[in-house]
Amino acid sequence: MTSSSKQTPPPLDHRELNVDMAVFGTDPAVGPGLPLWLPAGAVIRQEVERLACDIARQDGCVPVYSPVLAKRALFEQSGHWAKFSDDMFPPMRLGGDELVLRPANCPHHAMIYAARPHSYRELPIRYNELGAMFRAERSGVLSGLSRVRQINLDDTHVFCRPDQGAAEVARALRAALRVQQILGLPVDYVRLSRRDSGTGYLGTEAEWNQSEHALAGAAEQVLHDSNMPLIEAEGEAGFYGPKLDLQSRDGRGHEETIATVQLDFNQPERFDLTYAAPDGTQQRVVMIHRGTVGAMERIVGALLEQYQGRLPLWLAPIQVCVMPVDEAQDDQAQVLVDELCATGLRARETDGSLGARIRASRQRRDCLIAVIGAAEAASGQVQVRDVAAGFTGQLQQSALVDAVNRAYAARAATVDWRDEQPVNKP
């Protein structure tokens, strides 16, 4: 490489992108590891939450809600206290009770299942909740949205018969892969996370062998027609069961888990979770953890880095930034903004010189820039620039509204401008 050759700059991480985009804030008065979601970040998060809700509903999950607190005894019964107490916030004493901020919501979902008896005919039951969980992370490891002390997790727990387990694992894995495809986050491989020779695992060797075999069979079934490999890894399992992890590398080459499907034979045993079998006996239920979308903090940070801030249209905080060339077009610009917003789109008008407004819009990574000058105002047109799609053209304002709505409804990364007939397309 010659000295005059230009090197590609390293990708920005989500904290650097946040300087321009104002996605989240921090304040010493709130505390480290507790990010404040600013309006732009709240929009991105709401769209991801909506996707999580849609996927869960389409997959037959039912919504539940549970408190972020529980008695310490609940987590002692579940095994979380013995395994994770060093990473949990200290108990809060209230009267004679010790209340703990939950590190996971699976014990709560186990209690929801146990709230009434169940027949084999009802199963599988899939409880979904996007709930807050708390980890007492040390200050030295906290980082932006990727390591925080409160995570908001899209979490589903499936309760099924043993003969339904493999099909439920496959269903969960398909849903997780579909989510990553919609989000545009690449999956390098699926990891079968197994136990090692350590002693920190719950359950018998027979249960582990059976569960690992079931997960491997389900993964091979789902991945059969794809080029995605299945790689086994000892020592990466959870303490209560093996799991399938979707693994990805970020722009800096760091590998991370972006979704997981996990078998659990610990919670059903500890909480005596059963169902009435056809012969009238009570049989132990199988529990499956499925993290389809994952933690809102981690996924938003990953999206910012994957797209370097220029998010797909359906995720972009500002989908259309409308810019009148001068004050004479202010009213026309406001009419277009109102029309876009009335259909559920996110649009805004800006003040200042045209050049400064364009620079500010690009800095925020607004998805589309729509400029209205005197000629456009007179003819009901708008000059559109879509940086991500490489499109610049002049359209009827009604055509712009329709095109952006179609792309938004389809969760498209960009508008398919081929469907439009621009008045002028350089």
Domain ranges, ordered by start, for the chain? 14-306, 320-419
The model's pLDDT over 389-414, given as tens digits with 9 standing for 90+, comes to 889 999 999 999 999 999 999 998 88
First to last CA, the chain: 36
User: What are the beta bridge partners of residue 130?
Assistant: 154
Residue 248: predicted pLDDT:
86
State the SS3 of 250-278: CCCCCEEEEEEEEEECHHHHHCCCEEECC
Residue 5: predicted pLDDT:
56
Task: Identify the CA nearest to 405 among candidates 314, 324, 331.
Answer: 314
Crossing angle (nearest 10°) for helices 165-183 and 39-58: 150
State the SS3 of the chain: CCCCCCCCCCCCCHHHHHHHHCCEECCCCCCCCCCEECHHHHHHHHHHHHHHHHHHHHCCCEECCCCCEEEHHHHHHHCHHHHHHHHCCCCEEECCEEEEECCCCHHHHHHHHCCCCCECCCCCEEEEEEEEEECCCCHHHCECCCECCEEEEEEEEEEECHHHHHHHHHHHHHHHHHHHHHHCCCCCEEEEEECCCCCCCCCCHHHHHHHHHHHHHHHHHHHCCCCCCEEEEECCCECCECEEEEEEECCCCCEEEEEEEEEECHHHHHCCCEEECCCCCEEECEEEEEEEEEEHHHHHHHHHHHCCCCCCCCCCCCCEEEEECCHHHHHHHHHHHHHHHHCCCCEEECCCCHHHHHHHHHHHCCCEEEEECHHHHHHCEEEEEECCCCEEEEEEHHHHHHHHHHHHHCCCCCCCHHHCCCCECC
Neighbouring C-alpha atoms within 13 Å toward the C-beta of 16 = 6
- Class in CATH terms, 320-419: alpha beta
The model's pLDDT over 118-162, given as tens digits with 9 standing for 90+, comes to 999 999 999 999 999 999 999 889 999 999 999 999 999 999 999
Residue 1: predicted pLDDT:
47
Name the stretches of the chain with pLDDT < 50: 1, 425-426
Residue 77: predicted pLDDT:
94
Contacts of 256 (CB under 8 A, 6+ apart): 247, 248, 249, 250, 298, 302
Residues, the chain, total?
A: 426
Contact 187, 250 (CB under 8 A): no
- CATH superfamily, domain 14-306, is Bira Bifunctional Protein; Domain 2 (3.30.930.10)
